[in-house]
Amino acid sequence: MNVTRERAAAVLAGNWLGASTVPSRALYPHQWSWDSAFIALGLRHLSPGRARRELRTLFTAQWADGRVPHIVFDPQTPPEAYFPGPSFWHAGRTSGLVQPPVHARAVLAVHRTEPDREFLAALYPKLVAWHDYLRTGRDAGGRGLVAIVHPWESGMDNSPAWDEPLTRVPPATGFVRRDLAHGDAGDRPSDDDYGRYVRLAAEYRDSGYRDFGRFAVEDPGFNALLADAELALAEIAEELDLPSAGHREAAARVQKAMQETLWDSAAGFFFARDVHTGSLVREYTCAGLLPLVLPDLAVAPALLATATGPRFRLGRVHGVPSYDLTAPGFDTGRYWRGPSWFNVGWLIRQGLLHHGEFALAERLGDDLVEIAARTDFAEYADPLTGAGHGTRTFSWTAALTVDLLS
């Protein structure tokens, strides 16, 4: 076995709780929704049974309305290990927010690695309910797109695209951050941002997890991943000899809405829309590149030109920068405001393969593996130097490395 793959497998074994994997023992000691999907993509090569278990465990925490919660709390972990913990959310053993819907893709991949019809049949209706919740419960703008109600829902917590919508949210005070005990303050969101996250989450909780509050944003990353997830669901339906046309139509509707309302042809980019003002937030973040995961994307050449241009310099920097390299606020180390993340790099590599950019895809994949190995599976990396940032032995970095090496 390859040494890096062996070390990655050991990281995943170390972060395994018995029925799911924590992203990081210290910083994130519970199960996170989109992390588990990326983790399953790697686990399927090491132990398909564990990959299935990871996803099944997540979906046992699905809510009656179909939402898949962004955190499933581990009852054995002391409550003070993570803030906001279970007592904050008043939602049993979960949070009430969601994360990007990458699960159908993971379920399909796990099945393809080791076919298991019973697993697929058990997960299919849960995935349908999950996507239905997003489509029907989250269309705040009436444009056929999902609106996220909290930055944590994007998975890209302190993305500069949220700065403007967050100006409506006064920071909460009087709480204790736990993340700074495990992470360098310069690598994490600022105190003001954290205060805004806490206030927004508390307001959403107090509405019974129903209302669109001060923050409602149509995120191109989230919506592109939903369209891709519907395509995966269509393939799952076909494997199960069920009708699939409805899923392909749903994918096409989301993609059309994104194309018509979030794409700026002059900029060659997909921007987020602030539902409250109706305006696009003209920040170039890696979320705007994620529509590349869609195989049938008419604007792919223009989007690829932006990806390889001065703002992201794909192929000439390490990974995929999370923010515009030319922006004054670009920061090489601070969380989602510049550093390259492995899940985004993995997704963009898939997109490059769809759009015939094989050499660039290979270079990106090799680079991701090299940085992961050199940084002991860092959470994120400086795009200019490849230096590791955030926590180490981070699960999705290890899992996606296994996938790239398999």
Distance of CA 73 to the CA centre of its chain: 18
Q: Which is nearer to ligand 2M8, 201 or 250 (CB)?
A: 201
Given 54, 74, 153, 157, the catalytic residue? 157
Residue type, 137: G
Per CB under 6 A, does 23 bind ligand 2M8? yes
Taking the least distance from each CB to ligand 2M8, the nearer of 23 and 96 is 23
| Residue tagged active-site, from 193, 367, 379, 382 | 379
**Contact call for residues 370 and 345 (beta carbons, < 8 A):** no
Examine residue 152 and tell whether it contacts ligand 2M8 (CB under 6 A): yes
- State CA 197 to chain mean position distance: 17
Residue 96 C-beta: closest distance to ligand 2M8, Å: 12
Nearer to ligand 2M8, 193 or 274 (CB): 193
Mapping DSSP to helix (H, G, I), strand (E, B) and coil, where does residue 115 land?
coil
Least distance (Å) from ligand 2M8 to the CB of residue 32?
A: 4
Of these, 16, 20, 21, 28, which contacts ligand 2M8 (CB under 6 A)?
28
Q: Quick one: 40 or 257, whose CB is closer to ligand 2M8? A: 40
Among residues 8, 11, 16, 35, the one that binds ligand 2M8 under rule CB under 6 A? 35
Under a CB-based contact definition with an 8 Å cutoff, are residues 381 and 319 in contact? Answer: yes
Integer Cα distance of 53 and 47 in angstroms? 10
- DSSP result, 30-53: SEEHHHHHHHHHHHHHH-HHHHHH
Q: Is residue 34 close enough to count as binding ligand 2M8 by CB under 6 A?
A: yes
Tell me if residue 157 is catalytic. yes
Tell me if 257 sits within 8 A of 315, measured CB to CB.
no
**Residue with smaller CB distance to ligand 2M8, 21 or 261:** 21
Q: How far apart are CA 92 and CA 73, in angstroms?
A: 9
Q: Is 230 in the site for ligand 2M8 (CB under 6 A)?
A: no
At its nearest, how many Å lie between ligand 2M8 and the CB of residue 300? 25
Q: Is 157 in the site for ligand 2M8 (CB under 6 A)?
A: yes
Q: Are strands 272-274 and 280-281 parallel, antiparallel or unpaired?
A: antiparallel
Q: How many residues does the chain have?
A: 406
Any idea which residue has 């019973």 for tokens? 118
CA distance 130 to 163: 28
Tokens 């609106």 found at: 147
Phi and psi angles of residue 384, each rounded to the nearest 5 degrees, phi first: -85, -35
User: Is 193 part of the annotated catalytic residue set?
Assistant: no
Determine the Cα angle at 371 with ends 335 and 53, to 5°: 75
- For position 377 contacting ligand 2M8 by CB under 6 A, the verdict is no
Question: Looking at 57-65, 151-159, 168-176, 210-218, which segment touches ligand 2M8 (CB under 6 A)?
Answer: 151-159
**Least Cβ distance, residue 70 to ligand 2M8 (angstroms):** 6
The 10 Å CB-count burial string (b at 16+, else e) for 357-396 is: beebbebbbebbbebbbebebbbbbbbbebbbbbbbbbbb
- Between residue 53 and residue 82, which ones bind ligand 2M8 under the rule CB under 6 A? 70
Determine the interface stretch with ligand 2M8 among 30-38, 105-113, 325-333, 397-405 (rule: CB under 6 A): 30-38
| Region of 28-36, 42-50, 252-260, 364-372 interacting with ligand 2M8 (CB under 6 A) | 28-36
Site mask, ligand 2M8, residues 159-198, x = CB under 6 A?
Answer: --------------------x-------------------
312 sits near ligand 2M8 (criterion: CB under 6 A):
no
Q: What is the rounded distance in angstroms from the CA atom of residue 92 to the CA atom of residue 82?
A: 16
Residues found near ligand 2M8 in the complex (CB under 6 A): 23, 28, 32, 34-35, 70, 152, 155, 157, 179
List active site positions.
Answer: 157, 379
